Amino acid sequence: MYFFEREGWKIRTESPAQRAEREANTRKELGDKAYRQLTEPALPDEDKKWGVHNRVEVTPVDAHALYRFNDTFIDVRGAPLEEKRGLMTFLFLVFGVGLGGGMADLAIEAVNRDFFVDAEIAKVSDKLAVLLMCVVVVGYLFFIYKFLLPFARTEIFTQRHIIVRFNRKTRQVYIHRPKFAGGLVVMPWEHTYAGINPDLPDASVIGESLIVAWPAELSGAGYDESAFLGEPMDGNLQVMGLWEYIRRYMEEGPDAVPKPKRLRPLFPWPWASIRAVLNFMAPVWRRGGQAYALLFGLVLSPLMLLHAVCHWLSLLLCWPVRWPKEIAQAGQPGKPVPKLTVAEDFGEPIASYLRANTLADQKQLERLQRRAARRLARRQQREAAKAAAAEQDTEH
């Protein structure tokens, strides 16, 4: 499911008027206090960037996130909600194909009967009723096309996977997404940063993915870019381990990391869908909750089976990822190095909106960080005053 990616791209390419309206509506719905907490940045002493030259002291693991592994590149899963796909497929098949198709079939049959086969004996009222039914059916099908299909296309009638390719020979990263989620972009490896924090408890990151980002001021793209890598992780150690795996592969070569025991399948095998549905119980199973996981799975087995079937159908209704020839051959002897993506590659007005929103985000972040720094300074002053008071009490 690429709903998250679609909405993220929609926000990054909205006009200044749309952005102002969205922020005003969000502030109104949440209230000023909740809105400030939502947009509050990390305190300066807690905010550290982990770049490609910052080694993380953790065992590198592939975290079952790789589609391909060779001497030139690795292909990594780039969609955080792959396990969730199936819901939109179910809704589209039931309400779009099933109900919509059934209504259209009844309407066609009624028109054929009252206007052609039995046209001479059909009453005027019957014909008017059939025409009214046709209007209702057309309206319903328009609703499906206008509102349900765009949501359904986040997991069907689109590319089967989002893949992030790390090419160690060209020192570039290629992100292959559907056009409605930003399309294909080329980012520089040298300015890749990982959203990790070694100080976090292992269990606090269960279910999250590895985030990598390319800040606009460093990448030269003119806008901020990011990607979510891997399936929902089993903890902070696995998140950091995947980043260190990618980093060592790119910096030191394929011999610096263990070869993956099992690659993710690109073909839509049905058992891959079953595994995806069961994946949410993996953290509980690995932490000694086998009995609870088995009981939970037994109770929900009918829903899980339906989910697995819809998940598999969603994969079947998509096409495989096709890389452009320039990127597919990148890194081979004599082949050109692909051009890095810049905002202008998306054309106007998207390019202007990307740059404007990135600039607005940077200004907002700087403003919030100054506020956070002042808050930190006040907290340190209070702690220093308390320490001084405690020292005076001790002397007396």
Return the domain boundaries, the chain.
3-12+55-86+156-268+318-370, 88-152
Three-class secondary structure of residue 52 per DSSP: coil
Asked if residue 327 lies in contact with residue 336, where contact means CB atoms within 8 angstroms, the answer is no
Asked if residue 316 lies in contact with residue 268, where contact means CB atoms within 8 angstroms, the answer is yes
Q: Are strands 66-69 and 172-176 parallel, antiparallel or unpaired?
A: unpaired
Burial of 274 (0-12, 13-18, 19+ CB in 10 A): middle
Q: What is residue 48's predicted lDDT score, i.e. its pLDDT?
A: 62
Q: Between 372 and 215, where is the model more confident?
A: 215
* pLDDT band (50, 70, 90) for residue 121: confident
Asked if residue 268 lies in contact with residue 298, where contact means CB atoms within 8 angstroms, the answer is no
Q: What is residue 45's predicted lDDT score, i.e. its pLDDT?
A: 41
Q: What is residue 159's predicted lDDT score, i.e. its pLDDT?
A: 97
Inform me whether the pLDDT recorded for 383 exceeds 60. Answer: yes
Three-class secondary structure of residue 185 per DSSP: strand
Q: What is residue 46's predicted lDDT score, i.e. its pLDDT?
A: 44
pLDDT tens digit sequence for 248-301 = 999 999 999 999 999 999 999 999 999 988 887 777 777 777 787 788 778 888
Name the least confident of 38-42, 98-102, 194-198, 305-309.
38-42
Measure the CA–CA gap between 381 and 296, rounded to whole angstroms.
51
Say which amino acid occupies 337.
Answer: V
* pLDDT band (50, 70, 90) for residue 44: very low
Inform me whether the pLDDT recorded for 78 exceeds 90. Answer: yes
Cβ neighbours of residue 26 under 8 Å, at least 6 residues apart? 35, 38
Q: What is residue 352's predicted lDDT score, i.e. its pLDDT?
A: 95
From residue 114, alpha-carbon distances to 110, 121, 128, 137, 198 in Å are 6, 8, 10, 17, 73
Cβ neighbours of residue 29 under 8 Å, at least 6 residues apart? none
Cβ neighbours of residue 211 under 8 Å, at least 6 residues apart? 194, 195, 226, 227, 228, 229
Secondary element (H or E) of residue 23: helix 16-30
Q: What is residue 37's predicted lDDT score, i.e. its pLDDT?
A: 66
Q: What is residue 114's predicted lDDT score, i.e. its pLDDT?
A: 79
Name the least confident of 180-184, 244-248, 359-363.
359-363
What's the maximum distance between 2 C-alpha atoms anywhere in the chain?
Answer: 112
* pLDDT band (50, 70, 90) for residue 396: low
Name the least confident of 192-201, 206-215, 244-253, 387-396.
387-396
| Mean pLDDT (the chain, rounded) | 90
Torsion (CA) 104, 317, 321, 258 in degrees, nearest 10: 160
* pLDDT band (50, 70, 90) for residue 40: low
Inform me whether the pLDDT recorded for 349 exceeds 80. Answer: yes
What average pLDDT does range 316-323 have in this prediction?
A: 96
* Main-chain phi, psi angles of 136, to 5 degrees: -65, -45
Q: Quick one: what percent of the chain has pLDDT higher than 90?
A: 65
Q: Which of 348, 260, 346, 316 is nearest to 89 (CA)?
A: 316
Asked if residue 67 lies in contact with residue 263, where contact means CB atoms within 8 angstroms, the answer is yes
For the full predicted model, state whether its pTM sits above 0.75: yes
Asked if residue 308 lies in contact with residue 274, where contact means CB atoms within 8 angstroms, the answer is yes
What average pLDDT does range 224-243 have in this prediction?
A: 94
Q: What's the N-to-C CA distance of the chain in angstroms?
A: 67
Torsion (CA) 256, 260, 261, 266 in degrees, nearest 10: -170
Inform me whether the pLDDT recorded for 379 exceeds 60. Answer: yes
What average pLDDT does range 178-198 have in this prediction?
A: 96
Name the least confident of 124-133, 239-248, 367-376.
367-376
